[in-house]
């Protein structure tokens, strides 16, 4: 049995004052959650949110990590900085990073290794664009991204990683993959992990769905056998909405 994991991706939203308000409202609403709960917040909110969540069931994550330990990498953030601030998780290779900031499978791989070396728990995002799905290339694209992300990553390290399957056409669009599409593509991604690392690791790996998951569709998505949780953007910005999703994930 895989334990579900629901992670909020706040993206570039919430100042520290707003983060405090959201997390303070969220804490009591999710305290009896049956799944792992993570909020991936802007860098400037990590220390505050980690402090507010100390001793609770909410874990804190970041949305990016540099591949280097330190040095001349303007605008990047190191593993040591994230850990000292209180992050346990980190999203890597989100489609917005790929689309707007030049993230590639190679840089995703380098960032993933850096997270793993430093004991941060990675959430690696993969997913096809609309033209890939319409062209029948969903599996090809997802396979290339998974194989690229995990290149030379050991089996032990792969086992510590969460994958988020996020069809790009469903992110922030209000358009969700159908339950069948989510289940089928996550099942395919699991088969790629199996090819790379064997059945034991593939069967234990948690693979989330992400893309306009909300209070209305969470039940049927989570009822799919391959769907092990969600990476939630828009709906993670309101305490009631995110709490509903968390409490629906068993």
Identify the CA nearest to 14 among candidates 38, 46, 36, 37: 46
Q: Output the six-digit token pair for 123.
A: 């959430």
Please identify which residue in 127, 167, 211, 229 interacts with ligand PEP, judged by CB under 6 A.
Answer: 211
Counting contacts by CB under 6 A, is residue 171 touching ligand PEP? yes
To the nearest 10°, report the CA torsion of 250, 139, 172, 249: 0
Closer of 150 and 242 to ligand PEP (Cβ): 242
Provide the mask over 5-24, with x wherever binding to ligand PEP is found by CB under 6 A and - wherever it is not: ----x-x-------------
Handedness of CA 2, 57, 117, 125 (dihedral sign): positive
Q: Which is nearer to ligand PEP, 165 or 197 (CB)?
A: 165
The catalytic site residues sit at: 94, 166
Outline where DSSP puts E strands in the chain: 5-9, 36-40, 58-62, 89-92, 121-126, 162-165, 207-210, 229-232
Only one of the segments 73-81, 82-90, 135-143, 204-212 lies at the binding site for ligand PEP (rule: CB under 6 A); that segment is 204-212
* Cα atoms in the 13 Å half-sphere on the side-chain side of 210: 31
Distance CA 250, CA 5 (A): 9
Instruction: Find the shortest distance in angstroms from Cβ 225 to ligand PEP.
Output: 21
Report strand pairing: 121-126 vs 58-62: unpaired
Listed ranges 76-84, 153-161, 183-191, 211-219: which one lies at the site for ligand PEP (CB under 6 A): 211-219
Q: How far is the CB of 178 from ligand PEP (least distance, A)?
A: 15
Query: Which tokens sit at 91?
Result: 């999203």
Binds ligand PEP (CB under 6 A): choice among 213, 227, 245, 248: 213
Which of 103, 105, 166, 228 binds ligand PEP (CB under 6 A)? It is 166
User: Which residues are at the interface with ligand PEP (CB under 6 A)?
Assistant: 9, 11, 166, 171-172, 210-213, 231-235
């Amino acid at each position: 049995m895989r334990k579900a994991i629901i992670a909020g991706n706040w993206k570039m939203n919430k100042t520290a004052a707003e983060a405090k308000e959201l997390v303070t409202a969220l804490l009591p609403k999710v305290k009896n959650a049956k799944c792992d709960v993570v909020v991936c917040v802007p860098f400037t909110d990590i220390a505050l949110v980690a402090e507010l969540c100390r001793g609770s069931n909410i874990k804190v994550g970041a949305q990016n990590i540099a591949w280097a330990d330190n040095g001349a990498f303007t605008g990047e953030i190191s593993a040591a900085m994230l850990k000292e601030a209180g992050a346990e998780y980190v999203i890597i290779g989100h489609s917005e990073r790929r689309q707007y900031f030049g993230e590639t499978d190679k840089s995703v791989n380098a960032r993933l290794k850096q997270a793993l070396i430093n004991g941060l728990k990675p959430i690696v995002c993969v997913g096809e664009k609309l033209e890939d799905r319409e062209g029948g290339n969903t599996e090809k694209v997802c396979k290339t991204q998974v194989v690229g992300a995990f290149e030379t990553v050991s089996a032990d390290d792969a086992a510590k990683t969460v994958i988020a399957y996020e069809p790009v056409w469903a992110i922030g669009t209000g358009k969700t993959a159908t339950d069948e599409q989510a289940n089928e593509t996550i099942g395919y991604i699991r088969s790629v992990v199996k090819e790379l690392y064997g059945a034991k690791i593939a069967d234990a790996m948690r693979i989330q769905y992400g893309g306009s998951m909300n209070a209305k569709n969470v039940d049927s998505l989570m009822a799919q056998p391959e769907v092990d949780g969600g990476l939630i953007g828009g709906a993670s910005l309101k305490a009631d909405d995110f709490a509903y999703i968390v409490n629906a994930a068993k």
